[in-house]
Structure 1
Amino acid sequence: MAKARATNQLAFAFDLPRPATHPAALAGSDARTARMVGEILNSDPRAREVIAAEMSVLLDDQVSKAMLDAWSAPGKDAHNISWSRLRALILVTNRFDLLDRDLREIGAAVLVGEEIHTARLGHLKSKIAELTAELRAVERMATPIARGSTEC
């Protein structure tokens, strides 16, 4: 039976990521990461050998299909993917949405490439709104300056 392949990436979420800080909040992270690796591999139409080859070029280190298979198995505790290799896998497959989903667990979110301009735009608009509110408050308090017989 053929594996189900994802057809759409997850949409960016605008909800505020909150870090999981309660006891054992990150327990089972290795298994969740392995499932994420499996999800990434299963959603990509390319053969795992091709993905491994592209990762090898980026890392200047050999990555094989067998390594990808081991990293995607939640039950193989001895074969966890390293952070550098996970980053290469995400870059090669363009699955930043899954990285975002994973990082939200620790209170972070991912912006990719030009998305930073959208975030900056929102930040600047927020600052403008704050300054506009301050300006209005000062306008309500301000009175004309009168010195001598002339008003300034």
Structure 2
Amino acid sequence: MPKAKPHPNQLPFDFVAPAPAKGVAELAGLERQINALVGTVLASDGRPREVIAAEMSVLLDDTVSKAMLDAYSSPARPDHKVPASRLLALLVVTDRQDLLDPIMRKIGAALLVGEEVKTARMGHLQQMIRQAQAEMRALGVDAPTIREGND
């Protein structure tokens, strides 16, 4: 299977370890940021909102309407909170999971999308190899030779 091309507006991954927001009011305004995220997702997809809403409805087995998407994306309607299930469904049907990363970093997490997990696993395996090699070097300093059979 050919490698999927990144979305033309895909955000780059930041390799700085995120720290969770723990200070006073550090997560204040998060709902407005999520509304803006929904607006960005919808603006980056060329399909009509009715089509996106229909795909979300199928995915969730629940009714999502164009009017709901309009409300979720409006900064003027901060009282219209986006349920997590609908935000995630929107990201899946628009293939814009990458846009969730900045929100995740606010809680000290980072997001890998799809096959990027393999790259992270490779890094983990490389770290394990380095640790095993370091242990072998330390053992080799005073490890005796194993007895050889006397014929």
**TM-score range normalised by the length of the shorter chain:** 0.7 to 0.9
Q: Which residue of structure 1 lines up, in the alignment, with residue 19 of structure 2?
A: 18
* CA-CA distance at 1:21 after TM superposition: 1.3
- Does structure 1 residue 9 correspond to structure 2 residue 10? yes
* CA-CA distance at 1:7 after TM superposition: 4.4
Structure 2: any 5+ residue segments left out of the alignment?
A: 1-6
Q: Which residue of structure 1 lines up, in the alignment, with residue 118 of structure 2?
A: 117
Instruction: Assess if the C-alpha contact under 8 Å between 2:35 and 2:78 holds in 1.
Output: no
Q: Which residue of structure 2 lines up, in the alignment, with residue 79 of structure 1?
A: 80
Structure 1: any 5+ residue segments left out of the alignment?
A: 1-5
Q: TM-score, normalised by structure 1?
A: 0.86
Q: Which residue of structure 1 lines up, in the alignment, with residue 135 of structure 2?
A: 134
Check 1:144–1:89 CA distance in 2 against 1; reply closer, same or farther (3 A cut): same
* CA-CA distance at 1:134 after TM superposition: 1.2
Q: Which structure would you say has the larger Rg?
A: 1
Instruction: Assess if the C-alpha contact under 8 Å between 1:10 and 1:98 holds in 2.
Output: yes
* CA-CA distance at 1:77 after TM superposition: 2.6
Q: TM-score, normalised by structure 2?
A: 0.86
- What is the number of residues matched between the two proteins? 143
* CA-CA distance at 1:78 after TM superposition: 2.3
Q: Give a deviation string over 1:2-41, Cα, whole Å, max 9, x none.
A: xxxx942102222212111111110010001001000111
In structure 2, the residue corresponding to 1:63 is in which secondary structure?
A: coil
Q: Give a deviation string over 1:53-90, Cα, whole Å, max 9, x none.
A: 11111111111111101001123132111000001000
Counterpart CA distance in 1 for 2:76 and 2:33 is 10
